[in-house]
Structure 1
Amino acid sequence: MKIMSFAAARPRYDGHTDIVTRLFSQGYCVVEDAVGQGDLAALRRDLEPLFEQTQRSVGPFYGDATKRFHGLLRRSRHMETFVLQHDILRAVETVLGNHCDSIQLNLTQAIEILPGGEMQPPHRDQDMWPLRTPGVEYLVNVMWPFTPYSADNGATVIWPGSHRRQDEIVIDESEAIPIEMAPGSALLFLGSTLHAGGANRTRAPRRGMIVSYSLGWLKPYELPWLAYPPEVVSALPRELAELAGYRAHRPNLGTHEGRCPSYLLSGERADLGAIDALLPEQEELIALYRTGALAPSNSHAAP
């Protein structure tokens, strides 16, 4: 596996730590040869009919010369290879893991930019959520090309270093670069990185997909329990099911009947009662309170 920055020479790098370094230094990186061509071909075959059937998108952000469809975990069993790619997933967990108990899938979305499609408005995906905490990343996107991405056919456009310039809504296009890459490679970029889908000035569509991971306590772009009901998720590997929403985020977020929703996959009865999902430090504080070891704070007492 080889990681590169489009704007620089392409030396060889190995492992998730180099991905993390480049994400924090430039706001993006490209991992070449991230999956095998056989896995890619199998996924493309599964999704091909859906690209043909899906209607054009509506709205000034999506663009009326694009097609988009979601819920890709239920559309192809080959999604597992992409969503759970070892080095990429470890890098995502490193970037996001200090700010949540567990990460989640924010969305899986197949995208086709048709000939004549205009450049998408530049944006930062973190702006879906109306909050910003300095030093905290809310999501990491992974773009997987199904066809070669070029500057002419709509390659994703990135503003390097824009994750450090978050107060600038618009940055001059002269500072942006199209990320040209071959199928089998993956483009990772932070939710704080300014980017856009490029214009397609060719006669052929540009196809690919985005797999997006976010902090587990955020409301995701794609509602997981609607996208992946229990009868669908029960056939998935446990790690994939957890990313798709079947895991409570401690303390007690994302539960069903007061319990971790993973019980839906095990055949357990729903009437067995609520079960706490707490962090160890919270359990420790409760134990200390019960024993009287916690003294009331006087910090807010009246003078």
Structure 2
Amino acid sequence: MFATATAARASGLADEVEYWASTLLANGYAMIPHAIDRSILDGFHDDLHPHFEAAPFCQGPFYGETTKRFGRVLIRSPHAAAFAQHELILGIARRVLLHEMCNTILLNLTQAIEIHPGAPLQFPHRDQDMFGGPKGGRDYMMNVMWALDDFTDENGATRVWPGSNHSDPHGMLPEADAISAVMPRGSAFLFLGSALHSGGENRSDRPRRGVIFSYCQGWLRPWENPWLAYPPDIARHFNDELAALAGYRQHLPSLGNFEGQCPSVLLHGEVPRHLRFTDALRADQMDMVRQYQREHGSLAVA
């Protein structure tokens, strides 16, 4: 049984973030119905329609040879930013993924998916498996499947295994334990990278369309290479927050810099041939540096 927005309409954004984040961490998933304005949803769907029409079917049994996919969604529609920067969704992602040693999040991918009639069940998997770090502790990523069509049991709604984020991170679970993310178009289905899930079987006579906006911790390499998907000549047209989500910011200390500066320097005017390396440290690290300087004088150059 899915928890829905009517179960806990809070008085403010912070309360809503805490409710949905707690639900997500407890169950591995949460479903927020009608999470986006209808006019934005319709415009987004219309913008993506020709790309769905043109996209080839996938190759291989995992992606699905009766399924179409394409990425780089931020350049396919001006409405995509409203999904990527959804205030509640970003709040939940930050609440779930950030901690004392992780200070930023990134877009892990944007991917449109169309499951056609006759598509079989997808192989159950955990998206965190692409990362080589230890599993079973903190979560590395959070996915959001946005329903462009109504998701039903018949047309291939995403399946998830409740509580699988707390189970053996390398193990499978009984098929009977899976539930389908049945939801109206415009709803957001959130699930952790540690949650076992799969695409559903499409037993209907029509394709089912959805789009994933996925977020990961900022020190990780995203699934979709953001600097190839959105090079500077494209990203300079993004607003500052969207550009940062697409990779144009540093994860402190200094991770992902360009010539010793935040890569956002590439988005604003002419870039000098030589840039000034500028400290980008966490507050605790800067405190340690300054304390050392007070005790020992100027730092020697490494």
Tell me whether the two structures share a fold, i.e. TM-score over 0.5: yes
User: Counterpart of 2:243?
Assistant: 241
User: Retained in 2: the 8 A contact 1:7–1:177?
Assistant: no
Q: Which amino acid aligns with 2:70?
A: F
User: Retained in 2: the 8 A contact 1:257–1:270?
Assistant: no
Gap change, CA 1:141 and 1:9, over 3 Å in 2: closer
The equivalent position to 1:265 in structure 2, one of 267, 273, 279, is: 267
User: Counterpart of 1:300?
Assistant: none
User: Counterpart of 1:282?
Assistant: 285
The equivalent position to 2:295 in structure 1, one of 289, 292, 296, is: 292
User: Retained in 2: the 8 A contact 1:166–1:192?
Assistant: no
Counterpart secondary structure, 2:247: coil
Per-residue deviation, 1:120? 0.7
Per-residue deviation, 1:41? 0.5
Instruction: Please say if 1:24 is aligned against 2:25.
Output: yes
Instruction: Please say if 1:6 is aligned against 2:2.
Output: yes
Q: Which amino acid aligns with 2:60?
A: G
User: Retained in 2: the 8 A contact 1:28–1:187?
Assistant: yes
Per-residue deviation, 1:190? 0.7
Gap change, CA 1:164 and 1:283, over 3 Å in 2: same
Instruction: Please say if 1:198 is aligned against 2:200.
Output: yes
Instruction: Please say if 1:69 is aligned against 2:70.
Output: yes
Gap change, CA 1:51 and 1:276, over 3 Å in 2: same
Q: Mean alpha-carbon deviation: is it higher for 241-250 or for 10-19?
A: 10-19
Gap change, CA 1:56 and 1:87, over 3 Å in 2: same
Provide the C-alpha distance between the structure 1 equivalents of 2:4 and 2:36, rounded to a whole number of angstroms.
23
Per-residue deviation, 1:92? 0.7
Counterpart secondary structure, 1:171: coil
User: Counterpart of 2:149?
Assistant: 147
Alignment of 1:1-303 (within 5 A): 5-6=1-2, 11-14=7-10, 15-98=16-99, 99-167=101-169, 169-267=171-269, 268-292=271-295
Provide the C-alpha distance between the structure 1 equivalents of 2:238 and 2:189, rounded to a whole number of angstroms.
25
Counterpart secondary structure, 2:211: strand
Q: Which amino acid aligns with 1:94?
A: R
Provide the C-alpha distance between the structure 2 equivalents of 1:255 and 1:38, rounded to a whole number of angstroms.
38
Counterpart secondary structure, 2:274: helix
The CA RMSD measured in Å over matched residues stands at 1.8
Instruction: Indicate the percent of aligned positions where both proteins have the same amino acid.
Output: 44
Q: Which amino acid aligns with 1:76?
A: S
In structure 1, the gaps of 5 or more residues are: 295-303
Q: Which amino acid aligns with 2:294?
A: T
Provide the C-alpha distance between the structure 2 equivalents of 1:21 and 1:144, rounded to a whole number of angstroms.
20
Counterpart secondary structure, 2:58: coil
Provide the C-alpha distance between the structure 2 equivalents of 1:56 and 1:108, rounded to a whole number of angstroms.
18
Counterpart secondary structure, 1:272: coil
Gap change, CA 1:131 and 1:49, over 3 Å in 2: same
Any runs of at least 4 consecutive aligned residues in structure 1 with deviations exceeding 4 A, and if so which? 7-10
Per-residue deviation, 1:168? 5.1
User: Retained in 2: the 8 A contact 1:105–1:244?
Assistant: yes
Per-residue deviation, 1:8? 8.7
Gap change, CA 1:242 and 1:85, over 3 Å in 2: same
Per-residue deviation, 1:269? 2.1
User: Retained in 2: the 8 A contact 1:95–1:137?
Assistant: yes
Per-residue deviation, 1:24? 1.2
Count of matched residue positions in the alignment of Structure 1 and Structure 2? 290
Q: Mean alpha-carbon deviation: is it higher for 52-61 or for 133-142?
A: 133-142
Gap change, CA 1:264 and 1:25, over 3 Å in 2: same
Counterpart secondary structure, 1:287: helix
Gap change, CA 1:82 and 1:233, over 3 Å in 2: same
User: Retained in 1: the 8 A contact 2:125–2:197?
Assistant: yes
Per-residue deviation, 1:134? 4.1
Gap change, CA 1:134 and 1:172, over 3 Å in 2: closer
Q: Which amino acid aligns with 1:86?
A: E
Provide the C-alpha distance between the structure 1 equivalents of 2:293 and 2:8, rounded to a whole number of angstroms.
56
TM-score if structure 1 supplies the norm length? 0.91
Per-residue deviation, 1:273? 2.6
In structure 2, the gaps of 5 or more residues are: 11-15, 298-302
Q: Which amino acid aligns with 1:137?
A: D
